[in-house]
Amino acid sequence: MLLRKLARPLLGSAFIASGVDALRSPTESAHAVQPVLDAGREAVPNGVPADAETIIKVTGAVQVGAGAALALGKAPRIASTILAGSLIPSTVYETDFWNETDPALRSAKRAAFTKNVGLLGGVLIASADTEGKPSLAWRGRRRIGDARENVAGALPFGASNSSGSDFAETSAQLAETTRHRAAELSTTVSERAPEVLDTVRSRANKLAGEVADRAPEVAATARDRANKLAGEVADRAPDAAAQARGRANKLAGEVADRAPDVAAQARGRANKLAGELADRAPDAAAQARGRANKLADQLADRAPDAAAKARGRAVQAGDQAARRTRRLRSRAAN
């Protein structure tokens, strides 16, 4: 800002001139400061330096350096603070017009006192000038306020602070709120548990009903197929017996032609075998029907498990197909 670029050199030049005067002629100022040093040395023997001129020269050098830094805009706030600290002792001890009896000197010291006070006000303003930026105090208050808002937002009951005697009350309220919410959650879970259990039971019963509904159809299909197979076996049994008798008679004739004794034995055995086959044919058919019915019952019992396995395999196949589809789409997109 142009105003700062003009004001800082003007303010710093006054301190540079004062510091140069102190360096050139420190004796006059040393006479005014010496009584103060003597009094301080009596109170603190080893803490106050004895040479007043050295102090005046050091003060003048500090004012020249800090005034130049302020004029150039180098660390202006720090330089202004240093200038304010160097100006207060000289204002109090060199321009003490209240202790002066000579009217002319009293008037001159009053004017110098007024000038120093004005310069002190200027450097104090410069030391607080942040050039439009937030000061450290403002940023500290802002962060404290943000922290309080964050803490208040984190607390469910809207506590405004968490320090001092309110912290114990805040903690107790937080614990009570937590217990209350835990109790509400437990009550909600307890109330909804029967509903969830009923839903699971209803879905299980529905699935069991579907399986039970389909099981008779599967069992009936299995029984039909078993009965059909048993009927085919029973129908083919007489034909098989007749074919066996024909083959036996043919064999017996061939044997009879070759050897009458062998033919007679063969006929006897063939007739016996034919009779046994004819007698056992109904038993064999009955056994076939029994085994078929047993097989049908086993199929009916295993039908739900087979259906469940088939569903699981179908779901796995669908998932694999979906994954392969996504891979193919991603490859096609790439």
pLDDT (tens digit, 9 = 90+) per residue, 43-80?
555 655 556 778 888 888 998 999 999 888 888 889 88
Alpha-carbon distance 201 to 209, whole Å? 12
- Taking 70 as the threshold, does the pLDDT of residue 247 lie above it? yes
Q: What one-character DSSP code corresponds to residue 94?
A: T
Is pLDDT above 80 for 222?
no
Asked if the model's pLDDT at residue 207 lies above 60, the reply is no
The pLDDT, as a whole number, for residue 160 is 45
Element (H, E) at 12: helix 2-24
Enter the pTM of the model. 0.40
Q: How many CB atoms lie within 10 A of CB 80?
A: 26
Residue 241 neighbours by CB under 8 Å, 6+ apart: 274, 277, 278, 281
Q: Would you state the structure tokens that stand for residue 47, as one six-digit string?
A: 């803490």
Q: Is 162:154 a contact under the CB 8 Å cutoff?
A: no
Residue 131 pLDDT level (bands cut at 50, 70, 90):
confident
> Measuring CA to CA, how many Å separate 68 from each of 4, 9, 23, 72, 194?
15, 8, 15, 6, 85
State how far Cα 232 lies from the chain centre.
72
pLDDT of 156 above 60: no
Select the more confidently predicted residue: 49 or 182: 182
Mean pLDDT, residues 134-145 taken together? 74
The residue count for the chain: 334
* Cα separation, 109 vs 7, whole angstroms: 26
Q: Between these two residues, 257 and 313, which has the higher pLDDT value? A: 313
Q: Is the pLDDT of residue 157 over 60?
A: no
Q: Rounded CA gap, 246 and 241, in Å?
A: 9
User: How close are the terminal C-alpha atoms of the chain, in Å?
Assistant: 57
Give the integer Cα–Cα distance in Å for 6 and 49.
38
Q: Between 278 and 122, whose confidence is greater? A: 122
Q: What is the mean pLDDT of residues 234-255?
A: 72
Residues 69, 81: Cα–Cα separation, whole Å = 12
* pLDDT at position 234: 66
Mean pLDDT, all residues of the chain: 75
| pLDDT value for 54 | 80
pLDDT for residue 255: 52
